[in-house]
Structure formats: C-alpha cells, structure tokens
Structure 1
C-alpha cells in the first residue's frame, strides 16, 4: 500500500525540476545545515520526526522527498519504489537539496552534514563521495549501498557509521571492506559503531526499534555533526 506524503512544507529545484521536502529550523532560527535522507519507505512521519529532532539540537535540517510524495507501508511497495529510483538520479536529486540548503538564509555553515537511514544511509556515502568539500560530515545508519561500492576518491567528509550486530541486510562482515574502500579512496578511516540490534533499530515505528541502541547512536551522531559543522557549539 502506498499513499501521498503529508510531510511537505517547502519546494526546491533539483535535477532540473521542482521537488518537495521537509524543512525544520532550530529554536534560534539559524544553524548549520544537515540533509536527512529517507529510508526506503519514503518521507514518512519517522523521517519528519528525526528532522525535527535535529532542528531541536540546533541544526537547520532538511529532508528532501526522493519519491515525489509517495510513502510505502508494506515492504514490497517500498522495495519497488526504491528500485524505481535509479541510484544516479537519486544522487542528483540530493545534490540539488545540498544546493538548496547551502543557499538558505538560515544556514550558518559553508558545508553541510548528511545523515541517512537504510536506503538513505547508502545515499549518504554516495552523496558525500560526489559532493566533495560541500559535505563535512556523513552519518549513515545501517546504510544499504545498492550495487558495487563506489569510488570514494572524491569523499572529503568525516564518516561515522552506525550498524546492528544482528542485521542481515547489512551484515557485520560487509563493514570491513566498506571501511577499507573509504580509507583507500579518501585517505581517512571511518568511525563505525556496532550495536546489539538488528536493522532499522532507530525507527520507533517498527518492531525493529531498539531504544537503548537508538539513543546511544543518536547522541553520538548529534555530537559528531556538531563537531564537524559547528565546532564552537
């Protein structure tokens, strides 16, 4: 089952066309910019809530809608929608979101952070590899990279990843080759954390939610984003 998302409050131009997203401002009205990249379900309430939580932490947080307003509620629909989005097209749309955020008057940073979950976690690394110096911090949560590992030679962001020890979607044994590829390509080693949880352990709307792991990972991610985007905070 799919439905139209109600989580849109702004439009932006990306890949030569108008797109939609969810923008949340911090209490001060300004702060460093962070792109929030959706799971395969779409821009749903969970992603909007995480965007609001980042804003409450002092960031200008922006979640672009990669599915054009569609949200899936069943895994078969989510898989189909993910497969209907070519990876390169998804990265181009996210690049437009980076343009939008860096040009926003509320954004105080000259670089942005990127944080993503599941499908979005994979896109975090692909976007950072493409955008170079424009991404200061890349934070994938149980990121699913579709296809072969990319060329990380363009990656300039610091990377902090969060993964479940019992996640069959992103097996623990896949992390060493990923870390090696990132370090070989970019010259810097990523910071990976493992948790006693499965896939999607941050998603409190799913049975996979693991509160203790989610809270610890969130604290680490927020501190990491502040450290690389807002060192004075």
Structure 2
C-alpha cells in the first residue's frame, strides 16, 4: 500500500510506539487520526507532525469508541489503515490479580483492538480496501510466570488477528501483526515492578527502540505483510516457540519470575 495521502488511525498515540508510528507515517505523507486518553499529549504531537487530527477517547469503553469513530468519519473519513497499538497493564501473578485488574488488563489492548476495528470495519469492507495493524507481544506465543492478565490479553490479540484474517479473506482488507521484543519505551516506568518479571532467557534478545518498531510497522504496511517480528533474535525465538513449544515454555518458566 502506498500510504501517501492515506488516512491512518493510530491508537495509543500519546507516547512510545504509538507516537513514533505517527511520526513515521507523517514522514511518509499520511494524514493522521491520533487516538489516546491524554488529549494534551495528542495535541502536542499533532502540532509537531502536521496533517493530524486529535480524537481523545477511552478505548476500553465501547460507547466512547463508537463516538470517537463517528467523529473520525465525519472529520477525515474512514481510515485506510488502523494501527491497534494501545496497551497497558501491570504484570501480576494470577493469585495477585483482582477481578477489576483482570478486566482492565483485558480492556486494553484486547477489547480496545476489537472495539476500534469493528467500529470501522464495515465501511472498510464495503470500500474494498484497507489494512488492520495489530501491535502484539512475544507473550502472545510464549507464556511466562508473573504476567497472567498481560499474557492472556496478548493471546487474545493473537486470536483476534487469526479471526480477522479468516473473515476478511477476499475483501481487500488486510491484516498485519507486529511482534517486537522488549522496547525501550516508558511502558515499564508506567507499570513498576513488571520489568523485573521478564524471564532471564530474554536477555539474549536485544532491546529495540520505539523508532525501530515504527519503521518496521510502516514498512510492513507498505508491503502488505502478514507479520513482522523484531529484532532478528525475536524472530528466532518465535520460530523456536513454534517448532518446540514445550521446550520454549519450560525455558521461559524456569528462568521466569518467582514469588518473593
């Protein structure tokens, strides 16, 4: 897809991967619809990149997503690309997790991606073109201890991607999944204690920057790719998880977090 002049909606655009993705698409000539809860950060980013519109919304609330989608359609039209990037959630063991915390961890990113996608998908299918991009995590393939709700939500995202591909075959609307390793964003600063629960085996995978993820995402969108993982060691790890799931699961568990 040539993204010049296309409308690209980016969720979680106020910081990290989302903000860098918006900058990368802006450099490629796209018109941006920026979505997140923090309106001030969105407006600051919009002023920086130009050709951007701000749509603050709580993506865990289906009514708020519907209202946001109506506003986007009335302002810039139906997006050509939707980047489901919004994600949050403290890493907790299952027995540390309250029902409310589990609901929050499922709401963003899993339910949010479903709400945003379905809010626009009918129009995209009728048009016969477009691309849904989902930013996922290695936890969608490899479960590790101490991140129960986070991991469950990412496996849910993986299922959402698979279901979309099955439903959208032949419609002209494609689906791309991006799976980066550890990213040097503010995610762990916003979720204290979570970084210490990364399995030790993951230290063999270099950390990537939000800028690297954004470049890979835009490149995958341009090439209509089904999936991109980065860095190279992440691709090898996911390949090992596919080829030897029991061994990979054992390694992530024995090198993973322990209760204090």
TM, length-normalised to structure 1: 0.48
For CA contacts below 8 A with separation 6 or more, give which structure has more relative contact order.
2
- Whichever structure has more helix as a proportion of its residues is 2
Structure 1 or 2, whichever has the larger Rg, is 2
- Higher share in strand: 1
TM-score between both structures, scaled by the size of structure 2: 0.44
